[in-house]
Structures are given as C-alpha cells and as structure tokens.
Amino acid sequence: MKRFIVAPSILTANFLNLGKELDNLKEAGLEWIHYDVMDYNFVPNLTFGPKILSDITSKYDFKIDIHLMVQVLNISVEEYLKPFINNKIKQLTFHFESLNKEQVVEFISFCKKNNIAASLAVNPDTSLSYLDEYLNDLDNILVMSVFPGFGGQKFIEKTYEKIKALKNLKLEKKLNFRIQVDGGVNEQTFKLVQEAGAEMIVAGSYLVGGLSVEKIKQRVWKLEN
C-alpha cells in the first residue's frame, strides 16, 4: 500500500522553541513540514515568510510543503514565490479563492518549471467543480476541513463527503493528483479522513506544540496504522 504522508504544521509551535520542536519532529521520524504563510488579508492572521523558512531549510532536511493563504497584489506570482524557493521545497499550495485565473495559470507553470508539486486548496464552502479546468495539471488538491487562519479548530464534518467526491472524480477521470486534507485532523477524525480518500494530511495542534518525541511518535503511529 502506498505510504500515507503526515505533514506536521509548525503554525502551532511555540516559536521561542522552534528549533527544539523541529529537532523533536525529526527525531520522531517525520519527513515533511507544512509551512503556513498568512497575510492578514486573505485570512485574519499573519505568520511567517521566506526568512524563517530559509533558516529552517538551511539547517534541516525536511521536505517542505508551503501553504500560501495570501493574496498576490502588485507583483507577479513568480516574483512573490521566488524568495521562498530552494531545493527543499517540494510542494506549493495556493488557495483557488485567492488568485485570479491568470495567476492560477502562472502559478502552475511556475511549479512545473521549478519541478515542485503544484497544488490548489479549496475552502470548506468552495465547490470542487471550480477546479475542473485545472485537474489535469495539478499534482495535489488540498481540501480544507476548517476555514483557514488558525490551528486548533474543529474539523468540519461535511468535509468527509467532499474528500469522497474528490476521490471518485480522481478514479473516474484517472487523474494523478494527490488528495490532501488540512485542519482539525486528530485521533478522532483521522480514520474517516483516510477512509474517505486522503493521501496526505496536515496536523498542527495534534503533533506540534511542546510534545515529547515519544508522544509525537505515538501519535504519528496512530495516524499511520
């Protein structure tokens, strides 16, 4: 069976201890880090940008999954993304809702050019049908199971149906994109998320925030088994 990807989000870390949190995630065997970029514009929160990312990637070997919850104004998508890019960046996700059509096209071609997985996210109230025209070009689709902006929110139950619908679409059209889910994933919600068809999940508060290596290992084990 194809291995399921668990990507811890550092959004819920205590940033005074970020190095320690990353050491623990590494020691617990995690390969990916989910990096939530927010702009106080597309979402009501502000996080981090390229500097903290390059501090992380210059020291650690994690594969990086960047989740951009931002609008791109007065600058090209390429210019916006360039400062974030290095060889550890394996996936970039923009929200379908935050870009216009030209920007989506520019974004996807930027990813292809740089050999990075191209991913679009949809908010809980956005229909998957908006993604129809991009399905062939996407490497990943991120189904949001909370409204983006904060860690520690409750999983929105109707997301299960959305994941199933996306899985059916993928099978029906024989498409290659991966199905990712972000928000409120924990021991209670995980099994149903996986059964519904998710292949990659993000976990913030469940895995990051002062947990010991042992605790992280136990929780990841529960997610993977």
CA contacts within 13 A on the Cβ side of 77:
19
| 29, 83, 152, 210: residue in contact with ligand DX5 (rule CB under 6 A) | 152
Interior/surface letters 53-68, b for 16+ CB within 10 angstroms, e for the rest = beebbeeeebbbbbbb
Give which of ligand DX5, Zn ion, none residue 48 binds (C-beta under 5 to 8 Å, depending on kind).
Answer: none
Q: Please answer whether residues 25 and 13 qualify as being in contact, where contact means their C-beta atoms are separated by less than 8 angstroms.
A: no
Counting contacts by CB under 6 A, is residue 153 touching ligand DX5? yes
Give which of Zn ion, ligand DX5, none residue 8 binds (C-beta under 5 to 8 Å, depending on kind).
Answer: none
Counting contacts by CB under 6 A, is residue 8 touching ligand DX5? no
| 81, 104, 148, 170: residue in contact with ligand DX5 (rule CB under 6 A) | 148
Give which of Zn ion, ligand DX5, none residue 72 binds (C-beta under 5 to 8 Å, depending on kind).
Answer: none
CA distance 140 to 134: 11
Catalytic status, residue 36: yes
DSSP 133: G
Q: Please answer whether residues 144 and 182 qualify as being in contact, where contact means their C-beta atoms are separated by less than 8 angstroms.
A: yes
Judged by the rule CB under 6 A, the positions of this chain that interact with ligand DX5 are 9, 11-12, 34, 36, 67, 146, 148-153, 182-185, 202-206
